[in-house]
Amino acid sequence: MDEKEETLQAKLQQVREENNALRLMLEVLSSKCRKLESQLEEINKNEQKGISSYQIESLSNHVSSKRARLEFPTVKKPLEIFFRTLPNDDTLLIKDGYQWRKYGQKVTKDNGSPRAYFRCSMAPTCPAKKKVQRCTHDRSILAATYDGEHNHSALDDSFRPSSSTPKGSSIANNLSPTIIPYDKEAMNNVFAISDWAQTNARLYEDVIPQHVHGSNIKIEDYISSVIKDPDFTTALAEAVAHIITGQHKRQSLNLNLDIPKE
Site string (170-209) toward DNA, x via CB under 7 A: ----------------------------------------
What is the rounded CA–CA span in Å between residue 143 and residue 133?
Answer: 5
Contact present, 53 and 182 (Cβ < 8 Å): yes
Distances (CA, A) of 29 to 19, 32, 135, 234: 15, 5, 25, 11
Helix H or strand E encompassing 118: strand 114-120
For DNA, the closer CB: 69 or 261: 69
Region of 24-32, 96-104, 215-223, 227-235 interacting with DNA (CB under 7 A): 96-104
List the one residue from 110, 149, 157, 206 that touches DNA (CB under 7 A): 110
- The yes or no reply on residue 23 touching DNA (CB under 7 A) is no
**Alpha helices in the chain, H assignment, sequence order:** 2-48, 53-64, 184-198, 219-228, 230-245
What is the rounded CA–CA span in Å between residue 95 and residue 85?
Answer: 11
- The yes or no reply on residue 101 touching DNA (CB under 7 A) is yes
- The yes or no reply on residue 108 touching DNA (CB under 7 A) is yes
List the one residue from 51, 77, 89, 115 that touches DNA (CB under 7 A): 115
List the one residue from 50, 124, 168, 246 that touches DNA (CB under 7 A): 168
Region of 43-51, 162-170, 191-199, 236-244 interacting with DNA (CB under 7 A): 162-170
- Could you say which residues in the range 56-95 bind DNA, by CB under 7 A? 65-67, 69-71, 73, 93
What 8-state DSSP symbol labels residue 177? B
What is the rounded CA–CA span in Å between residue 88 and residue 139?
Answer: 10
What residues make contact with DNA under the rule CB under 7 A? 65-67, 69-71, 73, 93, 100-106, 108-110, 115-117, 121, 129, 131, 166-169
